[in-house]
Structure 1
Amino acid sequence: MTPYLIGSAVALAFAAYMFWESRRSTDQVARFVGTETSTAADVHALAQAAAAAAGPGVFAHRVELTGAAVPGREGPLVSEFTDTECLWYRHKVTHHYEETYRNSDGDRRTRRKEDVISDVSSKQPFLLRDDSGDIRLVPTARVDHPRKVASEFRQADGGGGTTVEIGRFSLTLPTSGDRTIGYEYEEWVLTPGTRVFVSGEAFDDRGELEVRGPKGPDKMLISTRSEDELLEHHRGERLKQVGLAAAGLVGSIVLLVLAFVLG
């Protein structure tokens, strides 16, 4: 297979991927537009009506909600890196190192690489509070646009074994043959009182009403951005992805023509 044919195939695969991503953005916009924003009281009333008609534990309803994130009965959390009081946190540790390898000529070369060695999000429920009341949220997906409270790179100390430590977080790594450059630490939090937009599904199958990830492939969304901001973002992403898909398709056709013309 000539380089032109290989390039054409790669460009076509890229175009197909961008088209698929644009459909996902289109579907997300359609879900936002097609789901009416409810209040906490509305969802509780629907669940009570469903329980009266069919019994408890069968209610499942797609919802959108807007309100302030506040602690539930479990109380607030404390993030592991910065000890920030919060309702949700995520921390990430990335290992930066140099790897020695041999190229196609057999010569030794060094390249810089990185691996994520820890990426953890909290799962503790909290509440959404609006003017009508509270509703329990179970964060089954990462919070969108949380506040970043840590972004730090620490160089390796050159010791034999490696212990990664920051705040209350600690992780011991095995010694490897690669040269460690250092570790990057990042942490994000959702603090009490932050206004959030929530898209998910309300259930009463665990003995109380709660909103979590929908059934099927869709994920729950808890975002510090408003619905209008999210709609604008996804529409912009869709236009960009369609443009990239078109460019990939044109590139694939051009390379295919060159493959036949130039042999």
Structure 2
Amino acid sequence: MLAFLGLFLLGLGALSVFQVLRARKRIHAMVTTETMASHELRELHQVALGAVGAGAFRQRIEAAGTARPHPSGPLTSQLGRTECVWFRTRITRKYETRTGSGNGGNLARKSQMVSDFLSASPFLVEDGSGATVVVPEKGIVDHAPKTVDHFEPYRPGDNKPLGFLDIPGVTRHERTLGHQQEEWVLRAGAQFYVRGEARDDERGELTIGAPSDGSPFLMTGLSEQDLIAVERNKTKIFGVMAWGGLVLGPLALGGHWLLQG
């Protein structure tokens, strides 16, 4: 028991260290990147166009304002059918599986990710001086409101049999309980902040997307100040967990070996 506890605490400590470093990296990216209004970005882009032509502009920036639909039109989310500019849809299968052999085995509840869809269509971030196109790519909009959180119970016939006979818990040793359906959306008119890379293509069209240097691509429904506060709070919480796990974990393992001896 002490060995398991020690390994668990060490794993928790290592994971917490990763979360602390990730939060610090995100904070550093925000405080060292300049926030630019839409007109300032356009002026800088025009200077680059005149100097080197289209397709060469690259500038790490922050932009903040209001989310607006792309001129091609708004999106409609998959589950809630909500009109929005961005959405994420996640489906998780909940099931029971039998551990051990025979009828004496125990049933354990588990989860399996079925799908995690992120809309990639461009939208706008608009401030008082204009609007800039944002290309979300594979990015997640942090703190977008969750609009769907529904558990759909399993109904016979939802799953195809794995063989000629389909006896849950016997022929396939597991039974589907249902699917957790979740959806997050960013509606038009919502507060929006992005930290990324402004760039243009060969036609000179300007967009904000994921930085090509691998630095954090941040999109959120919060203000920059609120997001920094959230990340700083993470460093405190995970910092305590890291110290606890990395100190108590070896102590628990040491106690195990002492008892074994």
TM range (shorter): 0.7 to 0.9
Residue 114 (structure 2) pairs with residue 120 (structure 1): no
**Match of 1:196?**
192
Percent of aligned pairs sharing the same letter = 32
2: CA distance, partners of 1:93 / 1:4:
36
C-alpha change, 1:256 and 1:119, in structure 2 (3 Å) is closer
Question: How far is 1:227 from its partner?
Answer: 0.8
Partner of 1:60: 58
Q: Provide TM-score, normalisation by structure 2.
A: 0.86
The answer (yes or no) to whether the contact 1:139–1:220 under 8 Å persists in 2 is no
CA distance in 2, matches of 1:250, 1:77: 49
Any idea what SS the aligned residue of 1:74 has?
coil
Match of 1:246 in 2: 243
Distance 1:260 1:155 in 2: 46
Give the corresponding residue for 2:72. Answer: 74
User: Could you tell which deviates more after superposition, 17-26 or 124-133?
Assistant: 17-26
| Counterparts of 1:95 and 1:257, CA distance in 2 | 39
| CA distance in 2 between partners of 1:6 and 1:181 (Å) | 29
1:119-160: CA deviation from partner (whole Å, max 9, x where unpaired):
11111101111111110000120111112222212222223x
Q: Which residue of 1 aligns with 2:166?
A: none
Equivalent residue for 1:205, pick from 198, 201, 204: 201
1:192 counterpart SS class? coil
Per-residue CA distance 1:195-233 (angstroms, 9 max, x = gap): 101111101135310000111333422211111111111
Deviation at residue 186 of structure 1 after TM alignment? 1.6
TM-align CA RMSD: 2.3
Q: Distance in 2 between matches of 1:33 and 1:120?
A: 30
Query: How far 1:8 sits from its partner (Å)?
Result: 4.8
The equivalent residue for 1:148 is 146
Query: 2:100 matched to which residue of 1?
Result: 102
Confirm or deny: 8 A CA contact 2:29 2:216 kept in the other structure: no
Contact 2:29 2:215 in 1 (8 A): no
* Residue of 220, 227, 232 corresponding to 1:230: 227
SS in 2 for 1:38: coil
**Residue 95 and residue 74 in structure 1: after superposition, are their counterparts in 2 closer, same or farther (change >3 A)?**
same
Cα distance in 2 between the residues matched to 1:179 and 1:257: 40
**Structure 2, unpaired ranges of 5+:** 163-171
Cα offset for 1:108? 2.2
Distance 1:259 1:95 in 2: 37
Report how far residue 64 of structure 1 moved.
0.6
Mapped partners of 2:23, 2:211: distance in 1: 17
Is the contact between residue 54 and residue 202 of structure 2 (CA under 8 Å) also seen in structure 1? Answer: no
Q: Secondary structure at the match of 2:120?
A: coil
Distance 1:153 1:253 in 2: 40
- Matched letter for residue 145 of structure 1: H
TM-score of the superposition, structure 1-length normalised? 0.85
Distance 2:202 2:61 in 1: 18
Residue identity opposite 1:199 in structure 2: R
Over 3 Å counting, the alpha-carbon distance change for 1:51 and 1:93 in structure 2 is: same
Structure 1 residue 7 displacement after superposition: 5.6
- The 3-state SS of whatever aligns with 2:249 is helix
Shift of 1:80: 1.6
Q: Against the structure 1 CA distance between its residues 148 and 51, is the aligned structure 2 distance closer, same or farther, given a 3 Å change threshold?
A: same
* 3-state SS, counterpart of residue 141 of structure 2: coil
